[in-house]
Structure 1
Amino acid sequence: MGAMAEDHLPFPPAPTIEVCYRHPGVQTRVHCTRCDRPICPDCMIPAPVGHQCPECVEQARRDFRSGPGRALRGGVSATNALLVAIAIPFVIEVILGGPQALFNPSAEILFDMGAMQPIAVADGQFWRLFTAMFLHAGLLHVALNAYFFWLFGRMVEASFGRTWMVLIYVVAGFLASVASYAFGPVTTLAVGASGAISGVFGAFIAYNYRRRQHAMNAANLRLALTVIVLNAVIAIGYSSIDWRAHVGGLVAGFALGYLADSSGPARQRAVVRFAGVATLVVIGIALVLWRTAEIRSAFPQFFG
């Protein structure tokens, strides 16, 4: 009778034992949700999601003290301040246009207040790439954008701080306008905060993508995917929606969120963040210059 061969199954690998990066003698299974380094109970500081290490918390405080964060100190959140900045121009639209402007402000009023119009931008009115993100085409438009921004803006601000909240909104909003300007028709008259808000939403996705191994963050990613699909379906049904601005803002916001959430030593993070933001802005400026030259060449009759 032949001998039976034995299957030798490999032993399971020994579990990896991690120790706190600040206290090498203490074992732990908990990681900082910002830099992903292992931390022990003495180093855990509660965060909006999970726990953060002392270094990341201190870095967030430094971020708050610098730049736009200083102007927002005193209890006013960046999200609320930006909501006011969105609401005030709409009130002015209604004052200038009368009751009709509440639901359907005229193109003339929107243009005069700074709507993004490619011919005007190509004529040197580059400020329209910024002012357009604070204007809206009616009460429903501003209400939906304000609600969506309030919903996700608070979470992004809690995760990244006030300074990054303002930076994400403004830079992503600018790049959203650039996408509309560079790739949209020259007849466009674009207004709305949706491009900038798409940027905030992109930062929300970036934050949760880095932590997708956690159940709550994975659920947030599924929510984000659902929102993206719904917005895509709506954009297909309504030709007036500037989907180019939405896509541009979303991509820019994701990149900014990834930069804001970068890990490593403080000096290295600062260099990476500055270089990343500068690169995005330079790309935006390059697209503006390219599109401006293209429009001026194609429609010389509009330029003296």
Structure 2
Amino acid sequence: MSTPQEPIGTQAGLPACVRHPGRPTGLRCTRCDRPACPECLVEAAVGFQCVDCVRQGTREVRRPTTVAGAEVSDKVVLVPALIAVNVAMFVITVALAQDLFNNERSDFFQALVSYIPSTADGQWWRPITSGFLHYGPVHLLLNMVSLWFLRDIELLLGRARFAILYFLSMLGGDAAGYLFDDLGTRSAGASGAVYGLLGALLVAVIRLKRDRHTLMVVLGILAINIAFSLRVPNISLSAHLGGLAVGLIVTAALIYAPAARRTLWQGVVIGVIVVALAAIFVTRTVQVNEEVFCTNATKLDCYFKV
């Protein structure tokens, strides 16, 4: 890169460089026309610009974005972090239970697992914490491998939108289980969130107009996972379908929103989903308390209504 030179024969009395007041200069920025010394000028397409104008121009350049409005990136951050948290929680529960394949025997696990009567009794953290617990190494491995293979969703949506999708799908899965599963059900796992990401992948394939083969592969993966949920005991199909439904809706809002009003559309739909999930938890809590915590006049008799 060439450097501008002061005109031969410049004399004292010239204007000073705007960034170095002690340096007289006969050079000027071709963009802002302010005096600048050679050190403060950078070669541009036409002439030389001061470093301040170059920085301003860099900020004004529109960076390429995805259909969701996220800046194009090739660095995945949240997915590895989520995997690390899930693995750490598994290691903790295994250490406390002293059993690799029956880590749910630890009191720590039972205090965080999703259990409908406890959630209805005010232990509001369970729908969140249960999403980071797993029953044994196979359960953990299946969900974490699935999460890793769905990592491109983070690149498509951007970190903030991906985090919203992940946690809303996780809560959507727990809300569905809370609404439809038996009262004695104890559920855990990242499956609700993973199903939400599968829904996101399906919407993305359609939105980006991928070939029919890719679409059929995604539908096949969904069908296999749903069939697996139907045949394997102690797996909540309702939680999986709840996460899938939320993932489909949220992702559709994120990548189909018109560019001119993208933030507004995305915010409105996400807000509606949050309100709907809150309404499910509140309404179902009232029902569960009527079924589970039934007290007679002397408050000595509590029973389950079957």
Same-fold call, TM > 0.5? yes
SS of 1:227's equivalent? helix
In structure 1, which of residues 196, 200, 205 is the aligned counterpart of residue 197 of structure 2?
A: 200
Q: Tell me which residue corresponds to 1:117.
A: 115
In structure 1, which of residues 275, 282, 292 is the aligned counterpart of residue 268 of structure 2?
A: 275
Answer 1 or 2: higher relative contact order, Cα 8 Å, separation at least 6. 1
Query: Rg larger in 1 or in 2?
Result: 2
Distance in 2 between residues matched to 1:264 and 1:290, nearest whole Å:
34
Distance in 2 between residues matched to 1:55 and 1:137, nearest whole Å:
39
8 A Cα contact 2:65 2:71, kept in partner: no
For structure 1, which segment, 274-283 or 53-62, has the greater mean C-alpha deviation from structure 2 after superposition? 53-62
8 A Cα contact 1:110 1:135, kept in partner: no
Q: How many residues align?
A: 235
- Cα deviation, residue 107, structure 1: 4.5
- Cα deviation, residue 179, structure 1: 0.6
Distance change (3 Å), C-alpha of 1:120 and 1:57:
closer
- Cα deviation, residue 94, structure 1: 1.0
Q: Deviations over 1:191-212 (max 9, x none)?
A: 0001111111111111112133
Q: Tell me which residue corresponds to 1:129.
A: 127
- Cα deviation, residue 162, structure 1: 1.5
- The residue type equivalent to 1:91 in the other structure is V
Q: Tell me which residue corresponds to 1:106.
A: 104
Percentage of matched positions with identical amino acids: 28
Q: Tell me which residue corresponds to 2:145.
A: 147
- Cα deviation, residue 265, structure 1: 3.4
Q: Deviations over 1:214-266 (max 9, x none)?
A: 32xx3332111111221222222213111111000011011111122124234
Distance in 2 between residues matched to 1:297 and 1:78, nearest whole Å:
40
- Cα deviation, residue 54, structure 1: 4.2
Q: Tell me which residue corresponds to 2:156.
A: 159
8 A Cα contact 2:230 2:237, kept in partner: no
Q: Tell me which residue corresponds to 2:39.
A: none
Q: Deviations over 1:12-46 (max 9, x none)?
A: xxxxxxxxxxxxxxxxxxxxxxxxxxxxxxxxxxx
Distance in 2 between residues matched to 1:184 and 1:165, nearest whole Å:
28
- The residue type equivalent to 1:224 in the other structure is V
Distance in 2 between residues matched to 1:224 and 1:286, nearest whole Å:
31
User: Is 1:234 aligned with 2:228?
Assistant: yes
Q: Tell me which residue corresponds to 1:89.
A: 89
TM-score by length of 1: 0.71
Distance change (3 Å), C-alpha of 1:294 and 1:263:
closer
In structure 1, which of residues 251, 255, 264 is the aligned counterpart of residue 249 of structure 2?
A: 255
TM-score by length of 2: 0.71
Distance change (3 Å), C-alpha of 1:285 and 1:57:
closer
Structure 1: any 5+ residue segments left out of the alignment? 1-52, 65-74
User: Is 1:173 aligned with 2:154?
Assistant: no
- The residue type equivalent to 2:276 in the other structure is I
Distance in 2 between residues matched to 1:225 and 1:61, nearest whole Å:
28
8 A Cα contact 2:203 2:251, kept in partner: yes
- The residue type equivalent to 1:272 in the other structure is W
- The residue type equivalent to 1:298 in the other structure is E
Distance in 1 between residues matched to 2:218 and 2:71, nearest whole Å:
28
Distance change (3 Å), C-alpha of 1:263 and 1:141:
same
Q: Tell me which residue corresponds to 2:78.
A: 78
User: Is 1:209 aligned with 2:223?
Assistant: no
Distance change (3 Å), C-alpha of 1:263 and 1:58:
closer
Structure 2: any 5+ residue segments left out of the alignment? 1-62, 300-306
Distance in 2 between residues matched to 1:275 and 1:203, nearest whole Å:
18
Q: Tell me which residue corresponds to 1:61.
A: 71
SS of 2:71's equivalent? helix
SS of 2:186's equivalent? coil
Q: How big is the alpha-carbon RMSD for the aligned residues of Structure 1 and Structure 2?
A: 2.5
